[in-house]
Copies of this chain bind each other. A is one copy, B any other.
Amino acid sequence: MTATDLVAETQGGADDPRTLHQQVLARLRQSILLGRIEPGQALTIRGLAVELGVSAMPVREALRQLVAERALELMDNRRVRIPPMTIERFDDLIAARVVLEAEAAARAMPYVNEALIARLEAEDAELNKAVAERDYDRWIGANYAFHSMLYGAAGQSAFLPLIESLWLQIGPFLRRAMRTISGHYTVDRHSEALAALRRRDTMALRIAIEADIRDGIAHIGSTLIRSEALGAGAARGPSTSSGRADVVRETV
């Protein structure tokens, strides 16, 4: 399998109307969202370009865009990395998620109809199945789909991009924490949210969303306590070009 195949086989054929840099961006964004990129992993323009079978230019633009969304961080040496997580930052991100997503959900309420609820239920079922099968990617993906489907009910909202940015910042640190708490997923907050939607109960919806956010990731905080400043610098992966390519090949 060539690197080019990697790009072509999952998404974006030759007739993809999107520009190359948009395809690269979508790919990298999903990788970050699903936690496939290790916090300390080397992210070089040329490396990713070879990896994705494109030239450096689209990768450059995609990286810039991800830096703007705070999914990546531009270091002093002008390299790019996943921003290291600290307890303070994590706390901020969760707080921002809570206020933004609760408000976004509340503002979506007027647009809720049976069709939307049905789609949300389908996504919730998909999520539960993924949880049962311990399929992490589908789990995260379905969870994200559920939330964005709800917040986007009113059409394009100004909230969604902001929330996406927060997801991207949390994504890389979600996976490791998920493993440890995969058994703790006892209360189905999505069911509570769906019940609130059916009753058109905005307040209950806010509570369910907040609980969902806090439940899903509350345990990450303790993970962070055990390893301060996660992904700060010591956890640098293999740095030779061959080594990096190997790691990225299975992750991007």
Which chain A residues have a beta carbon within 8 Å of chain B's beta carbons? 19, 21, 60-61, 64-70, 78, 88-89, 92-93, 95-96, 99-100, 102-103, 107, 154-159, 161-162, 165-166, 169
Contact = CB atoms under 8 A, between A and B. Distances in A.
**Oligomeric state, in number of copies?**
2
A96 to B, nearest CB: 6
B169 A158 contact: yes
Nearest to A67: B65
A125 B95 CA distance: 32
Nearest to A170: B158
Contact of A61 (B61, B95, B156, B161): B61
Given A19-B78, A96-B103, A99-B99, 10 more contacts: A64-B68, A65-B68, A68-B69, A70-B161, A92-B159, A96-B100, A99-B100, A99-B103, A162-B165, A165-B165
9 contacts: A21-B64, A64-B68, A65-B67, A65-B68, A68-B68, A96-B159, A99-B103, A158-B169, A162-B162
Nearest to A90: B158
